[in-house]
Structure 1
Amino acid sequence: MIKKYDSTKLHQLVLEIYQKYGFSKTDSEKIAHTLIYTDMHGIQSHGVQRMIMYDNFIQSGKVRIDSKPEIIKETPVSAVIDAHFGLGQLNGIYSMDVAIKKAKNAGVGIVTTKKSGHYGIAGFYANMAAEQGLIGISSTNSRPAMLPTHATQSFLGTNPIGFAMPANPHNFILDFATTTVPQGKIEVYRKLEKDLPALWVAKNGDQPVNDHNDTTNLDLLRDPKSNVGLTPLGGVSEFTGSHKGFGLGMMVEIFTSILSQGDISHEIEADNLAVGPCQSFIAIDPSMFGDREQIIKRFSAYLEDIRNLPAIPGKTIYVHGDKEALNYEDAKQNGIKIDDATLAEIKAIANRLNVDADKYLN
């Protein structure tokens, strides 16, 4: 079952939990903001649903509470950052801030970060730049999950890409895994006891796995030695464009692990404390190309032209960011959706840390 909970109270609960872990109040505020932002925009796979995974990482030492990101190579337009295995959200905010500052000074900022952690949704960091009048791009590699086209074992991560550009009435935000769906969406469907509706997961390279009760296969999703993995965007056949999702995943790998000289997806293991994801953060100042306000105005008109195209009866044409903006307004008024299984996980974490979750959830 899914219920709605007040976003402000939930923010305070997450803030208190992360302070109990030992994060500073400032850092805990940043963590809470990214998680609640994600749920308020309707992306349940990467909001508070992820707290149980972060809890496991913190307890195992894969996430180091006191670590701070450090610039180890820098030019006026670029930087390489060693995150020293701090929490991914904190590394991401720091890294995009560096990219934004460089873009404001030089027109463009490109940052690549290694030894990081799971940082949530790529679109959050891209939108950090858009909120300051810039174009933002962010991506991350991850543990193996994607089956390269025609392969029977996973090798690439879900390797998402986030892109954001200022627009009216709200920013354009494109955020997608280069697999058909992210790992977190599979987790949400299993918690809700819903079968997978399409070819999201395959075994032996091309055989669909749809039954949410198929623990024999679904529990092997993150095991690169198994014959089960997530399909690339485009599925398992070149006829449907599988090679395009596979290629996009490889492009992410180049901008994250290859340029930072960090860990490639297939080198990242859940139990190996010496390896971690790599990320990239790009900020671009549109004023390099002309009057910024006119560029944004023209782009906004372009998006409106798309929304006003003739639509299939009963359907609405959305551009990227529209649904998220609608979700945000609904969540602000009516609360954030949380399923019972995720709620139980959060309460268990809170209880162990001596946090009274009920005062925030009633």
Structure 2
Amino acid sequence: MIKRYDSDKIKQLVFNIYQAYGFSETQSHKVAEMLIYTDLHGIESHGVQRLVMYDHFIQNGKIRVHSQPEIVKETDVSAVVDAKFGLGQLNGIYSMNLAIEKAKQHGIGIVTTRDSGHYGIAGYYADMAAQQGLIGMSSCNSRPAMLPTHATKAFVGTNPIAFAMPAKPHTFIFDAATTTVPQGKIEVYNKLEKDLPALWVAKNGNEPVYDHTQTEDFKALRDPDATVGLAPLGGVSENTGSHKGFGLGIIVEVFTSILSMGNISTEITPEDLSVGPCQSFTAIDPAIFGDKEQIINRFSRYLQDIRELPAIPGKTIYVHGDKEAAAYADRKKNGIEIDDRTLEEIESIASRLNIDYTNYVA
């Protein structure tokens, strides 16, 4: 069952949990802010649902609480950051702030980061740039999840791409895995014991998996040697465009692991403490192309023209960021959505850390 919870109270609980791990007050605030931002925008797969995974990584040492990111190569417009296995959200915020600083000084900033951790939604970091009046982009590689076109084993990560640009009445944000859905969405459906509604998972290259009771197939998604994986954007056939999602996943690999000389997807495993995922962060000042206000206004008019196109009866035309803005308004007023199993996971973590959670989840 899914219930609503006050976002400020859950944010405080997350803050308390990260302070109990040993993160500083500032770091704990940043992590809590980012995770609740995610749930407030209706992306439950990557919000507090991820706390249990991060808890596991903190306990086994894959996330190192006291690590600090280090710049290992830098120019006026670029940098390579060694994240030293710190928490992904903190590495992401650090790296995007670095890209933003370079963009403000030189018009563009591109930072690629290696040996990081799972950093949540890519869109958060792209939006950081947009909130500063810049165009933002971010991407991340991950352990193998995607079935390359015609392959029977996963090789490419879910490798999301995010883009954000200032617009009116709200920021345009595109954030999507290059697989049909991210791994976290499969986890949410499994927690809710719901069948998958479309071809999100396939085995043996092209056999769809829908039934939530096929537990062995879903467990095998974490096994790099299994013949089960996530479908690329476009499904599992060239006729439906699977090669497009596959190609986009490779492009993400270039901007994350290849340029940073970090780990490619096949080198990342959840238990190997010596490897971590890679990320990229780009900020661009529209002013290097012309009058910034005119550019943003023109883009805003373009988006509004799309919204006002004739629509299929009973349907609304949305552009990217519309649904997230509506979700934010709803969840800020009525609470974020958390399923019972995720709540149990959060309560278990809090109990182990001697945190009284009762007042936060009432």
The normalised TM-score by structure 1 is: 1.00
Report 1:20-99 matches (<5 A). 20-99=20-99
Q: Deviation string for 1:310-344 (max 9, x for gaps)?
A: 00000000000000000000011000000000000
Q: Deviation string for 1:60-118 (max 9, x for gaps)?
A: 00000000100000000000000000000000000000000000000000000000000
Q: Counterpart in 2 of 1:4?
A: 4
Question: Using the alignment, how far apart are the partners of 2:28 and 2:213 within structure 1?
Answer: 36
1:193 aligns with 2:196: no
Question: Using the alignment, how far apart are the partners of 1:311 and 1:193 within structure 2?
Answer: 33
Match of 1:220, SS? helix
1:209 aligns with 2:209: yes
Question: Using the alignment, how far apart are the partners of 2:249 and 2:205 within structure 1?
Answer: 17
Question: Using the alignment, how far apart are the partners of 1:117 and 1:213 within structure 2?
Answer: 30
Q: Counterpart in 2 of 1:246?
A: 246
Report 1:269-280 matches (<5 A). 269-280=269-280
Question: Using the alignment, how far apart are the partners of 1:358 and 1:196 within structure 2?
Answer: 33
Q: CA deviation at 1:38?
A: 0.1
Q: Deviation string for 1:231-284 (max 9, x for gaps)?
A: 000000000000000000000000000000000000001110000000000000
4+ residue segments displaced more than 4 Å: none
Q: CA deviation at 1:224?
A: 1.3
Q: Counterpart in 2 of 1:287?
A: 287
Question: Using the alignment, how far apart are the partners of 1:216 and 1:89 within structure 2?
Answer: 31
Question: Using the alignment, how far apart are the partners of 1:222 and 1:148 within structure 2?
Answer: 16
Q: CA deviation at 1:213?
A: 1.3
Q: Counterpart in 2 of 1:304?
A: 304
Letter in 1 for 2:318: Y
Question: Using the alignment, how far apart are the partners of 1:326 and 1:198 within structure 2?
Answer: 25
Q: Deviation string for 1:166-203 (max 9, x for gaps)?
A: 00110000000000000000000011110001110000
Report 1:74-153 matches (<5 A). 74-153=74-153
Letter in 1 for 2:257: S
Q: Deviation string for 1:123-168 (max 9, x for gaps)?
A: 0000000000000000000011000000000001100001000001
Aligned residues, how many?
362
Match of 2:164, SS? strand
Question: Using the alignment, how far apart are the partners of 2:64 and 2:341 within structure 1?
Answer: 27
Q: Counterpart in 2 of 1:16?
A: 16
| Structure 2 residue runs without a partner (length 5+) | none
Match of 1:3, SS? strand
Q: Deviation string for 1:13-41 (max 9, x for gaps)?
A: 00000000000010000000010000000
The normalised TM-score by structure 2 is: 1.00
Letter in 1 for 2:11: H
Q: Counterpart in 1 of 2:218?
A: 218
Match of 1:95, SS? helix
Question: Using the alignment, how far apart are the partners of 1:357 and 1:324 within structure 2?
Answer: 28
Question: Using the alignment, how far apart are the partners of 2:328 and 2:83 within structure 1?
Answer: 31
1:257 aligns with 2:260: no
Question: Using the alignment, how far apart are the partners of 2:212 and 2:88 within structure 1?
Answer: 29
Question: Using the alignment, how far apart are the partners of 1:162 and 1:339 within structure 2?
Answer: 26
Letter in 2 for 1:149: T
1:342 aligns with 2:342: yes
1:170 aligns with 2:170: yes
Q: Counterpart in 2 of 1:353?
A: 353
Q: Counterpart in 2 of 1:267?
A: 267
Q: CA deviation at 1:222?
A: 1.6
Question: Using the alignment, how far apart are the partners of 1:220 and 1:27 within structure 2?
Answer: 34
Q: Counterpart in 1 of 2:325?
A: 325
Identity of aligned residues (%): 72
Q: Deviation string for 1:266-307 (max 9, x for gaps)?
A: 000111000000000000000000000110011011100000
Question: Using the alignment, how far apart are the partners of 1:301 and 1:271 within structure 2?
Answer: 48
Question: Using the alignment, how far apart are the partners of 2:248 and 2:299 within structure 1?
Answer: 25
Q: CA deviation at 1:216?
A: 1.4
Question: Using the alignment, how far apart are the partners of 1:352 and 1:310 within structure 2?
Answer: 55
Match of 1:137, SS? strand
Query: Which is further off, 107-116 or 216-225?
Result: 216-225
| Structure 1 residue runs without a partner (length 5+) | none
